[in-house]
Amino acid sequence: MSTLNTGRLSLPAMCVGAGKWALHVARGWAAERVQWGRPVGEHEAVATKLAFIAATTYGMETMLELCCLLADDDRNDIRIEAALVKLYASEMAWRIADELIQIRGGRGYETAESLAARGERPVAVEQLLRDLRINRIFEGSTEIMHLLIAREAVDAHLSVAGDLIDPAAELGRKVRAGARAGAFYARWLPTLTVGRGQNPAGYAEYGPLAGHLRHVERACRRLARSTFYGMSRWQGRLERKQAFLGRVVDIGAELFAMAAVCVRAHAERQSRPEGVELADLFCRQAEVRVTALFRALWENTDHVDGRAATRILAGRYAFLEDGIVTPPADRPWVATWQPGPSTAEDVRRRVPPAS
């Protein structure tokens, strides 16, 4: 399994390269293309996209460099870091490519060959979108990365709880597990109340980035509390709460990236002072995403979505598929569906048996 670490570092390297190229194309086009008397990059709707592309590329590159430094020291186990950067970069690079196409408009959707045939610069933006999409699937899909990282996050809790959350465990085993858990949490829980981030002077050595690091420190403790509450609430069923666990991991990835960019920008502040501006921009954008993710931990439609999916699989809403022209090659697959009683006859009429 450790061989996957190499792929999970080389893949985000490609994503970083894609982000850099996207920034180059977006900056040139947004300055060149004029609408309503101004370059489109000066309009707020496009300006926010440019800011996202620049800040996110800086964040991805920083996460990757940090993970590679850790990997170069053979004493480190980088499974989680490699998984985090793979997950984060593949998702963010896809968003960057999507925003680049939106900035380029119809020309973004057009192939480079088509642009060249019309005498325009052959910029292969649509190819970038197609090439990046696979990154969210191979070397571990986004869903698998969420579960892999989440397992590490809750493994300590599940190991401590053990028989306490096992419905098949006998009473004596539960009592012993309860004693072990009590001793563990007596030491662990106090660490989640206060920390360096509570101090207004905390991380003062980082200057204008100190506030972001204080935010990261407080958010890390909040994330630990939220994870613990989720485990307490769902116990052994937590492993089935994949949407919840995915959000926990996404919050952790954002916090990891925020800490990384602050450290990098501070270290390079003399040789590259503009890095502090990018780090500040990235952290401000990431804080908005983190706030939304924290809220979605408890305010979501996961339960009703799950029930709806069960009904969808049973064919209850098969009427929504009325009107499609089914290619012959698809018919054997379609004919194997098991719709509910109200739609079974209708589906049989629409889909002839496979020959």
Which sequence positions are flagged as catalytic?
139
Nearest to 123 by CA among 106, 137, 144, 138: 106
Q: Please, are residues 53 and 281 in contact by the beta-carbon 8 Å criterion?
A: no
Q: CB of 219 within 8 A of CB of 291? A: no
Residue 168 burial (CB count, 10 A): 6
Query: Bridge partners of 35?
Result: 38
Distance of CA 233 to the CA centre of its chain: 24
State which amino acid sits at residue 334.
Answer: V
CA 178, 248, 58: angle at the middle one, nearest 5? 145
Q: Which residues contact 203 (CB under 8 A, 6 or more apart)?
A: 196, 197, 209, 210, 213, 214, 217
Return contacts of 201-207, CB within 8 angstroms, 24+ apart. Answer: 205/266, 206/262, 206/266, 207/266, 207/269, 207/276
Cβ–Cβ < 8 Å for 50, 41 = yes
Least Cα distance to 291 among 224, 223, 203 occurs for 223
Kindly report the number of other CB atoms within 10 A of residue 198's CB atom: 12
A 10 A CB-CB count for 123 gives: 22
Cα-trace Rg, the chain: 25
3-state secondary structure of 323: coil
